[in-house]
Chain A
Amino acid sequence: MSTPTVPAPAAQQAPERPSAARRLLRDPVAISAAVTLLLWTATVLYSPSFAGWGQVVTLLTVASFLGVIAIGQTLVIIAGGEGIDLSVGATATLSAIIASRFMAGSDEGFLTAVLLALAACCVVGAVNAVGVLVFRVPPLVMTLGMIAVVTGFIRLYTGGRPEGSAAPLLRTLVTGDTVAGIPGVLWLWLGLTVLVIWLLRRSPFGWRLYAVGGNPSTAYLSGVNTSAVKFAAYVLSSLFAGVGGLLLLGYAQNVYTSLGTDYMLNSVAAAVIGGTALIGGVGGYLGTAIGAVLLTVLDTLLRVAQVGGGEWGDAPRQIIYGAVLIIVLTAYGRQRRLRQ
């Protein structure tokens, strides 16, 4: 909360503003979009079949899970105070496991299952928020601890063997063609993207979120209920993680206990690649969405290029993934110099 941040006005008082072209070169969203296109071109050059419509749709479908889970992550990070939600992966798994048990492969309990799953996720978010706001536990630690609680609960709830499977309705929604040959999940992601960008840019909640993230003291003194805003951010984070988990369930049909584990830090990476700074108060969802696509394209490229596989397993892919992440972040994710 007391991270020394440069107040925003200082940047605006700079004697001459950089030209539009230079701003574009420094804009995280533009850079990450360019890197995404670059990586995609590389993938296509490597294996021309990836330029096909079907492959692009599949790629975006896979990216959409990360994208939806990263919505909440972006909100929490923007809300500042070292905000971060590492429990999103576990929460997504929880939602998928509860939903699959109540759906049990039929459409009858669809609504109940979805509502129950999302309600459970909201409880997780509320506990996170209480820990952070009331008990003053650093968000990183609180949400880290919640991973243990949520996975423990999953173990208790399922006895180690998750049951049930996705309802056909959910499956159709996620993988089936709906309008214009695009699966429903992409329409949903598009809708959520527009909704979240509107929420952040045009709604009082979004303004308050940026205010709290930028400077909690100023926000508080301006009459913003900082605790309520942060509480909402954490609950929304778990809620969107739950939605992501449901989509994953629809895609994978069955659940397993490590379904959402990979999304924990990848959602943070997607947000940061998209230009949302971990100090809070800076960034937006469009960048995160592009970041999610970037990470997915990168993963696809490494798979297509058959880095690893065979006797090496996943190892070389992991190494290159990390290296590329650092290179991308070096382009703009750098903190200011001390000598200023």
Chain B
Amino acid sequence: MSTPSRTGPPPPGAPETASGPPPLARAGRALLSARMPTVAVAVLLVATVAASVALQPGFFSPYGLSSSFATFLPLATIAAAQTVIVLGGGIDLSIGAIVTLSSAVSVVLMQGDDARLPLALAAGLATGAACGLLNGLVVAGLRLQPIVATFATGSMFGGAALLVLPKPGGTASPILTETYRMVVLAYIPVPAVLLLLLWLAWRVLRRHRFGQYLYAVGGDAGAAYSSAVPVSAVRVLSYTLGGLIAALAGVALLADSGAGDPTLGTELTLGSIAALVIGGTRLRGGSGGVGGAIIGAIVLSLIQGLVFFAGVPTNAREFVYGCVIIAAIALAGLLTARAAQRPAFQGANR
């Protein structure tokens, strides 16, 4: 994102006004004005973390944190990718296939050799971005309905992933897997740092003109068009960026498991959508953010771990997990919809 913006990107993390109210008062005001979805996802996060601490021995130990964040990162990154696309008013059902295709390309080129790591990573990321670009062109250029169009492209990407890597396997380069498992400063796992970087990158993007355009297009494409926002270009770019981030998720998945798996696609897509909805992003576009989606992904992963540690019988695990997810989504939906009026009177003047 090095396009020159009119005002120049503000340094990340810098306060906007030096002489504002004291930080405590500002924090309080921010808390009070927080949107309901933010509160909902915060409640869910606190509840799941508390339950995990109670049920999972050594949850806060360096090892426990490291393994937890290692599982959070891939899902959170996919959710972030999906969020960028959904904010722009689209949806990408092929995102899981993009993840598996790009990780398959990487692992096949890598062959467990550290020297080939940069090339393999570059190829994987380029694959993801190319898939996203294709999606964007199909949705914005051919003007197909995103759900069906990305289902179709997802079939293509999934097929390509099977061509590249017919069955689960391959070896990731040792540097990649070892770095992923490292713990910095005796306590902070590397995936947590990467997660923070992902969020910071999103904050920068959000301030950038593209971020503004993204919300404008997702909120009301017609109005954005009238305001001289390049709607089609923003859509194409949002899908491309989503594909690129999905490829990053593919790398994370590779680093976590050490091998490629071409069959994970559908599951990942479903997870990404569930995470972003729990995180308070509106599926219709134009409202929400990557921060919520990341927390939504963490909540999802924690619930999965909880079902395991709560001693639920093996055969009942999936059912309990499904029910908890539905409950979490319903809670998020209820709180998100509170502000909305009855659909009967919504948009009656249209």
A: residues with CB less than 8 A from B are 1-4, 7, 81-82, 84, 131, 135-138, 140-142, 144-153, 155-156, 159-160, 216-217, 220-221, 226, 265, 268-269, 272, 277-278, 311-319, 321-323, 325-326, 329-330, 333-339
15 contacts between A and B (CB under 8 A): A2-B284, A81-B343, A82-B283, A138-B277, A141-B333, A142-B329, A144-B270, A149-B323, A272-B148, A315-B163, A316-B159, A316-B163, A317-B159, A335-B143, A338-B232
Contact A141 B283 (CB under 8 A): yes
Q: How far is the CA of A136 from the CA of B333 in the complex (A)?
A: 6
Q: Tell me the bound Cα distance from A65 to B185 in angstroms.
A: 58
A268 touches B148 (CB 8 A): yes
Smallest Cβ distance from B73 to chain A, in angstroms?
22
Q: Is the CB of A318 within 8 A of B347?
A: no
B174 at the interface (CB under 8 A from A): no
Find the B residue at minimum CB distance from A340.
B222
Q: Does B154 contact A (CB under 8 A)?
A: yes
Which residues on the B side are within 8 Å of A140 (C-beta)? 91, 147, 273, 283
Q: Which residues of chain A are within 8 angstroms of B345 by Cβ–Cβ distance?
A: 217, 220
**Contact (A325, B152) CB under 8 Å given A2-B347, A148-B325, A217-B345:** yes
Q: Is B149 an interface residue (CB 8 A)?
A: yes
Q: Nearest Cβ in chain B — how far from A311, in angstroms?
A: 8
Of the residues B144, B158, B225, contact of A330 by C-beta under 8 Å: B144
**Among A135, A152, A318, which residue has its beta carbon within 8 angstroms of that of B322?**
A152
Spot the interface stretch: B17-25, B253-261, B313-321: B313-321
The one of B153, B336, B347 that contacts A322, using a Cβ cutoff of 8 Å: B153
Listed in ascending order, the chain B residues whose CB lies under 8 Å from chain A are 91, 93, 138, 142-145, 147-149, 151-156, 158-160, 162-163, 166, 220-222, 225, 231-232, 270, 273-274, 277, 283-284, 315-323, 325-326, 329-330, 333-334, 336-337, 340, 343-348, 350
Whether B151 pairs with A265 at a CB distance below 8 angstroms is yes
**Residue pair B163, A312 in contact (C-beta under 8 Å):** yes
User: Which chain A residues lie closer than 8 Å to B350 at the CB level?
Assistant: 2, 4, 7, 217
Across the interface, name the chain B residue whose C-beta is closest to A81: B343
CB <8 Å contact, B144 and A318: no
B319 and A149 contact, CB distance less than 8 A: yes
B153, B277, B315, B334: the one within 8 Å of A326 (CB): B153
The answer to whether B343 touches A216 (Cβ under 8 A) is yes
Rounded to whole Å, the gap between the CB of A150 and the closest CB of chain B is 8
B144 contacts which of A81, A314, A326 (Cβ < 8 Å)? A326
Whether the Cβ atoms of B343 and A226 lie closer than 8 Å is yes
Q: Please indicate the chain B residues that have their CB under 8 angstroms from the CB of A7 in the complex.
A: 350
- Chain A residues contacting B162 (CB-CB under 8 Å) are 313-315, 318
**Complex Cα gap A184–B315 (Å):** 37
Instruction: Collect the chain A residues with CB atoms within 8 Å of residue B322's CB.
Output: 145-153
Which residues of chain B are within 8 angstroms of A336 by Cβ–Cβ distance? Answer: 143
A304 to B349, CA, bound (A): 54
Question: Do the beta carbons of B316 and A329 come within 8 Å of each other?
Answer: no
What's the least CB distance linking B82 to chain A, in Å? 12
Contacts A140-B283, A145-B274 known; A4 to B326 CB distance under 8 Å? Answer: no
Contact of A318 among B155, B231, B284 (CB under 8 A): B155
